[in-house]
Amino acid sequence: MKNKEAVIRANLNNCLTETAGLGIGNCKRGKVRDIYDLGDSLLLVTTDRQSAFDRVLASVPFKGQVLNRVSAWWFRHTEHIVPNHVISIPHPNATLGRKMEVFPVEFVMRGYLTGSSSTSAWTLYNRGDRNICGNVLPDGMVKNQKFPVALITPTTKSDEHDQSITPEEIVSSGLMSQNDWDNASEIAKDLFAFGVKTAAQRGLILVDTKYEMGKDENGNIVLIDEIHTPDSSRYWLAESFEERLVQGLEPKNIDKEFLRLWFRDNCDPYNDETLPQAPADLVTELSSRYITLFEMITGEEFEPVEGDPAQNLVSAVKKL
């Protein structure tokens, strides 16, 4: 993308933050996505809202376009592993998807002992937990160390705060049957292995991610929501990782973690009623990182749709 920083700064006030008043229909508002029930299908609109610590931190230009288009790319390239819900991409910010009976569980895959949120592997390990969602870890591990085998650490789904849960608890509480858990968890592992391999070919480390799945009318497990985006995933730059790990330095990343850390250092993001405004320089940097990741993963130049994204969205939806 040419003149990336200039284009981002020119669009700092052209973010798609709210869609409920656009006349599309009844809106179910998520942390980042607005979902519209169109009868046999759902319209998932990925906004530019930046969510972390279970709340909205900022609005980031072109973020929604990047997330939606990165997901579309990964959905196309993982159809050999699992079918997905995508019908079409009617707008850079929107996906038209099939309705599913959604599992009330997020399938979180972790390749490294890291993170800063309350449910992250490092936070739990650092406070003394050695059994993380049924995965028993040894003493003596250090932050950002790679696990010998990637862990699956499921959480419950919530609009407020996800909670860690073990596979045994998922089945015993009736959230999923044993057969569905076994099949879906294997799919998550296969998706993560493919994502790790693909990212490595592009100079990236796919550190961790989450998947959401459901079942179609024939009982087939289907991948939904998003896949391997910089919102659902953590990416590090592979080239400098080993050297920085030995030096005790944080890996160079290409995700939202630096913004999360800024808020953690400047407020209590879980408990403060009002959060400070994210600096424009950080928002610009985050937008640039999203765009860079899009281009590294897809091998395509990012061509943003500029101007009023809400108006463009309404025009696209009317054509459905």
Convert the pLDDT of each residue in 204-263 to its tens digit. 999 999 999 999 999 999 999 999 998 899 999 999 999 999 999 999 987 777 888 899
Q: What whole-number distance in Å separates Cα of residue 238 and Cα of residue 251?
A: 9
Average pLDDT score, the chain: 92
Q: What is the pLDDT of residue 204?
A: 96
| Closest residue by Cα to residue 311 from 16, 76, 11 | 16
Cross-strand bridge partners of residue 50: 58
Q: What is the pLDDT of residue 314?
A: 85
Report residue 318's pLDDT band, with 50, 70 and 90 as the boundaries: confident
Question: For residue 168, is pLDDT > 80?
Answer: yes
Domain 4-317, what fold?
D-amino Acid Aminotransferase; Chain A, domain 1 (3.30.470)
Least confident of 182-191, 252-261, 282-291: 252-261
Give 202-205 contacts, CB < 8 A, sequence gap 24+. 202/296, 202/297, 202/299, 203/237, 203/238, 203/239, 203/296, 204/235, 204/236, 204/237, 204/238, 204/254, 204/293, 204/296, 204/297, 205/111, 205/112, 205/235, 205/236, 205/237, 205/238, 205/241, 205/251
Report residue 78 CA to chain centroid gap.
16
Q: What is the mean pLDDT of residues 251-278?
A: 88
User: 144 with 112: CB under 8 angstroms?
Assistant: yes
Q: In angstroms, what is the C-alpha Rg of the chain?
A: 19
Alpha helices by DSSP H, the chain = 4-10, 63-77, 121-126, 167-172, 178-200, 241-246, 257-266, 280-298, 309-317
Does the pTM of the predicted model rise above 0.85? Answer: yes
User: 180 with 188: CB under 8 angstroms?
Assistant: no
CA atoms within 13 A on the CB side of 49: 17
